[in-house]
């Protein structure tokens, strides 16, 4: 886990399903990620379970984490990166998305 003054960046838990479903179905939060926008909780559950399983692997290409408010223990978004290969070089595609009510807080 990574700690900041007000956030925890942590591995996922199955109990994250409810807030993840809310996040992945929020059109404003997912504006720049329309390819993963979904209102189907089954798709969110499948993705969450896959992420949890991948966290156990020594060698992997996807690293996703929950963004949690430290004091409230409330998840407000997702951050991560995917390793891709371009012209035989390793490159990371990095991104994050959070609930709009937490935007512009530094």
Give one word for 101, left, alpha or beta, with left for phi > 0 and alpha for psi -120 to 50. Answer: alpha
Tens-digit pLDDT profile for residues 9-63: 999 999 999 999 999 999 999 998 899 999 999 999 999 999 999 999 998 999 9
Residue 3 — pLDDT band, cuts 50, 70, 90?
confident
User: What confidence tier does 88 reach under pLDDT thresholds 50, 70, 90?
Assistant: confident
Q: What is the pLDDT of residue 21?
A: 96
Quickly name the fold that domain 2-102 has: Aminopeptidase (3.40.630)
pLDDT of residue 8: 95
Sheet holding 2-3, edge to edge: 2-3, 7-10, 62-69, 74-86, 89-98
106 pLDDT exceeds 80?
Answer: no
Q: C-alpha distances in angstroms, 60 versus 8, 36, 55, 56, 102?
A: 22, 20, 8, 9, 30
Say what the pTM is: 0.86
Dihedral-angle region of residue 24 (phi above 0 means left; psi in -120 to 50 means alpha; beta otherwise): alpha
């Amino acid at each position: 886990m990574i700690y900041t003054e007000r956030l925890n960046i942590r591995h996922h838990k199955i109990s994250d399903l409810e807030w993840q479903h809310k996040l992945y179905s929020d059109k404003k939060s997912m504006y720049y990620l329309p390819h993963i926008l979904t209102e189907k909780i089954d798709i969110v559950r499948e993705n969450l379970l896959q992420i949890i399983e991948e966290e156990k692997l020594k060698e992997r290409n996807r690293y996703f984490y929950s963004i949690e408010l430290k004091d409230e223990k409330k998840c407000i978004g997702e951050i991560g990166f995917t390793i891709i290969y371009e012209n035989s070089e390793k490159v990371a595609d990095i991104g994050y998305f959070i609930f709009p009510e937490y935007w512009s807080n530094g």
